[in-house]
Structure 1
Amino acid sequence: MTRPKIGIVDDEASMRDALVALLSENHFDPVPMAGIADYQDNIDQTALDLVLIDLQLKGESGLTLAMDIRRAGDVPIVMLTGRGDETDKIVGLEVGADDYVLKPFNPRELVARIRAVLRRTGKPVAALSTTPDQDRITFGRLVVDQKQRILMDDQDDEISLTNAEYRLLDYFLSRPNEVIPRVDLLAELGSDLTKYVDRTVDVLILRLRRKIEKNPSKPEHLQTRRGQGYIFVTDTQRSTN
């Protein structure tokens, strides 16, 4: 399958290099560009499947480029920015961006969002690389690829997880069908939780359930044992009592 061509418009050379490496590793064909002039020079020679645009280009606006791209055609656009201003996000989406990702971003999340936008817009999607069965753990309709550190559904589509969510899931899968006290989860994820309180574990559990359970309010896999902790049931035929 031909690798989707992803344009990268960012004036920071280090960010362009990092994005080129990330996209290449995930079976995309990156086309790095430093600004609007580079984009205009390349667009007549290269048919892009999607464009990543930094909102704050040096001396020019990523929004201007996004508007120009949208006026010219229907190439999907994902905006990248370090700003947290909600107004910028709204403006970016209104001018035609298909998604909006804040820097610093989780690499797996960015890749998953790019794939999602390509699927929604009918563009080719980079195939996930295959790995031996011993690197995969299946539960219900989902599969964890431990080599690539990703979660996939039964159609081999990636389900986006944050780093903390993936670490939590991976830890549960290393101790399947075993009641794990909250204190053990805090110890495992401690480095990620220094700025949070104890209840963060519960928040992560809720977020993970929304992504892996058919009915998060009645979880089959990630269950609570009141007064004891949590248990990850890999075989849903087991008793949930």
Structure 2
Amino acid sequence: MEETTRKSRIAIVDDDPVVRQSLQDLLYENGFDPVAHDGSAAFFAKEQDCPADMALIDLKLAGESGLTLAMRIREQRDMPIVMLTGVGDEVDKIVGLETGADDYLMKPFNPRELVARIRAVLRRYGAQIQRPAPATGPDVLQFGDKSLDLTRKELRDAEGDEIALTNAEYRLLEYFLRHPGEIIPRPQLLAELGSDLSQYVDRTIDVLILRLRRKIEPVPSKPAHLQTRRGQGYIFVQAPGASG
């Protein structure tokens, strides 16, 4: 199906060139039209000719702060704003939200979570977000009313909205979907998830399972898909059935 909705234009305001480029690449790859700026002057100069649909602003900009920029934007137009910062200061977070930001994400952030939050904020503003046509074929694994796109590495619900997953959650879900109906013990899951999780103990898998259930199960406490087999491991049931 051909898409007619234009891509949402996201203004990236960050004085770190490496961060700007990585954010620009991430948003472009996920169907947005990113425009990067190194500060507020560049942002307002571009806004005159090419207004953005959302501003993604670093809180600790050199010169004019991200908070001041957010307040200036709010004085001029009703544009959604997402703030980014590497400072773990709860006061900054509160001030950022009170000055008009719609959401707030700490650096380093999970790329999928940032994309999902941007889409959620745009939806709240009524923006028509360009989505790819529903994918089918061997690179899309279906279960219930959800689908996992292996090419885009995205989990989507029945409406086509992305459900943000961490890297570990994505890899765990993909592995289960490739082995439906098999009882898989915890050590096997740890081995399949790779060396970056090799330091984890069995209980870490249990934590990942709980987090994943909150995102894919209608009733996480009574899982229809990701079920437990006591003393053996876990099993993934593609068609909803009795809880485990």
1:176 matched to 2:176? The reply is: no
TM-score normalised per structure 1: 0.94
Residue in 1 that maps onto 2:78: 74
1:135 matched to 2:139? The reply is: yes
Residue in 2 that maps onto 1:85: 89
Residue in 2 that maps onto 1:21: 25
Which residue of 95, 98, 102 maps to 2:102?
98
Query: What secondary structure sits across from 2:78 in the alignment?
Result: coil
Whether the 8 Å contact between 1:53 and 1:79 is mirrored in structure 2 is yes
Cα distance, 1:195 vs. partner? 5.8
Whether the 8 Å contact between 1:7 and 1:48 is mirrored in structure 2 is yes
Which residue of 154, 161, 175 maps to 1:157?
161
Distance in 2 of aligned mates of 1:26 and 1:130 = 15
Q: What stretches of structure 1 of length at least 5 have no aligned partner?
A: none
The residue type equivalent to 1:23 in the other structure is L
Query: What secondary structure sits across from 2:27 in the alignment?
Result: helix
Distance in 2 of aligned mates of 1:56 and 1:149 = 31
1:227 matched to 2:231? The reply is: yes
Residue in 1 that maps onto 2:112: 108
Distance in 2 of aligned mates of 1:100 and 1:26 = 20
> How many pairs align?
240
The residue type equivalent to 2:213 in the other structure is R
The residue type equivalent to 1:24 in the other structure is Y
Q: How does 1:182-221 map to 2 (within 5 A)?
A: 182-193=186-197, 196-221=200-225
Whether the 8 Å contact between 1:131 and 1:147 is mirrored in structure 2 is no
Q: What stretches of structure 2 of length at least 5 have no aligned partner?
A: none
Residue in 2 that maps onto 1:32: 36
Query: What secondary structure sits across from 1:60 in the alignment?
Result: coil
Whether the 8 Å contact between 1:11 and 1:58 is mirrored in structure 2 is yes
The residue type equivalent to 2:112 in the other structure is R
Cα distance, 1:147 vs. partner? 0.8
With 202-211 and 182-191 compared, the bigger mean Cα shift is at: 182-191
Q: Cα distance 1:141–1:132, how it changes in 2: closer, same or farther (>3 A)?
A: closer
Query: What secondary structure sits across from 2:138 in the alignment?
Result: helix
Cα distance, 1:188 vs. partner? 2.0
Whether the 8 Å contact between 1:26 and 1:128 is mirrored in structure 2 is no
Query: What secondary structure sits across from 1:155 in the alignment?
Result: coil
Residue in 2 that maps onto 1:166: 170
Distance in 2 of aligned mates of 1:216 and 1:7 = 37
The residue type equivalent to 1:201 in the other structure is I
The residue type equivalent to 2:131 in the other structure is A
Q: Cα distance 1:198–1:217, how it changes in 2: closer, same or farther (>3 A)?
A: same
Query: What secondary structure sits across from 2:82 in the alignment?
Result: strand
Cα distance, 1:124 vs. partner? 2.2
Distance in 2 of aligned mates of 1:32 and 1:200 = 38
The residue type equivalent to 2:118 in the other structure is I
Which residue of 40, 57, 64 maps to 2:61?
57
TM-score normalised per structure 2: 0.93
Whether the 8 Å contact between 2:54 and 2:81 is mirrored in structure 1 is yes
